[in-house]
């Protein structure tokens, strides 16, 4: 570069996402798909799948409907 400067921009990383935040998001956006959760929190699909598995195993959420058209719901127990 001549007579200039370089600016590097980094995408903000939201490291405070966890199971409770995912549960709250699902509750406010029922039904929702994992791809929308990934986009909202800007984390990897694998991370979201891990949290969804924890929520399903603990009985807090469920997936209703067909694979392509269904979504996650919060269980009302």
Tell me, what's the pLDDT at 17? 81
20 token code pair: 């409770």
Domains of the chain: 19-74 (1.10.10.10)
Spans of the chain, pLDDT less than 70: 1-2, 9-15, 77
CA–CA separation, 56 vs 36, rounded Å? 17
Its pTM stands at: 0.75
């Amino acid at each position: 570069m001549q007579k200039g400067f370089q600016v590097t921009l980094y995408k903000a990383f939201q490291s405070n996402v966890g199971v409770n935040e995912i549960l709250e998001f699902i509750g406010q956006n029922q039904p929702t798909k994992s791809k929308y959760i990934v986009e909202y929190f800007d984390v990897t699909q694998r991370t979201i799948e891990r949290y969804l598995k924890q929520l399903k195993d603990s009985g807090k959420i469920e997936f209703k409907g067909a694979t392509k058209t269904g979504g996650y719901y919060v269980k009302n127990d």
